[in-house]
Amino acid sequence: MAEPFISDFDLDAFVARVLAEDLGEGGDVTSNATIPENARLTAIMDSRDPIVVAGLPLAAMFFRALDPDVVIEPLVKDGDKVPAGTDLMRLSGNARRMLAAERSALNSLQHLTGIATMTRAYADAIDGTGCILLDTRKTIPGLRALAKYASRMGGAQNHRLRLDDGLLIKDNHVAVAGGVAEAVRAARQANAGLPIQVEVDRLDQIEPALAAGAERLLLDNMGPPLLREAVAMVAGRVPTEASGGVRLETIRAIAETGVTYVSVGRITQSAPAADIGLDYAWA
């Protein structure tokens, strides 16, 4: 049974697919050749970096998939910010099976923890501004639900998970529709029952978008001075979101312009894996 820490994603199928990719048809030939069949292993999973943890229940699932009797003691929980050297999980079970699951468990945990850790850095950078950090759909294909979970653990709010979660009119939609106002009016006529957000990259697009019925504005690739002008023009009529090229060193200045949200693709697209290991626990 999959842990209920994430919804709308088949965790059991994911675990089975990842293990099949790693084990191949012959299994862990090295462990089978060097370790007695009934040997036991007690190990500690620990962080070599300061991290924000994400994916610990998923890591446990890999070990349980190969050894249902493995004893797992989580020592921290997802969302915890911990220093380098922190023990994350203690495990005890069949040595062969634990080692066969090790890389799949670590790869998944390192990836999700990397996302959560980078996300927390961005969230901390705008703390106190009142601005809300959002993630995007810039994720590894097939792993979006996991990446979005990890970004939540790091302190972001999820933007759209899928294309059917909301109407977001971007520059290509505007170009084909013939203008911002035309695109917004077409979206309203479609009556999809979803909020309408429209991307603008010039100040002169703001009033036409609002007049046509836009319910949220995405202010794309605008620097802080232009963002301040845009926020003043909107004057609180709809929420505003800054997006495009946001980096850790620039996000606070962006947030301080008064935008409601700032979205960052980098946190799910480019986060480095965290350094987490599994080591034999000496008695």
Catalytic residues: 103, 138, 170, 199, 220
The b-or-e profile of 106-116 (16+ CB within 10 A means b, else e) is: bbbbbbbbbbb
Q: How far apart are CA 218 and CA 201, in angstroms?
A: 8
Residue whose entry in the numeric block shows the structure tokens 């203690």 = 90
Alpha-carbon span 221 to 216, nearest angstrom: 16
CA 194 to the chain's CA centroid = 23
User: Which residues, other chains included, contact 155 with Cβ-Cβ below 8 Å and sequence gap of 6+?
Assistant: 119, 120, 123, 124, 133
The β-bridge partners of 261 are 132, 241
Q: 3-class SS at 52?
A: strand
Distance CA 214, CA 184 (A): 6
Two structure tokens written together for 276: 């987490």
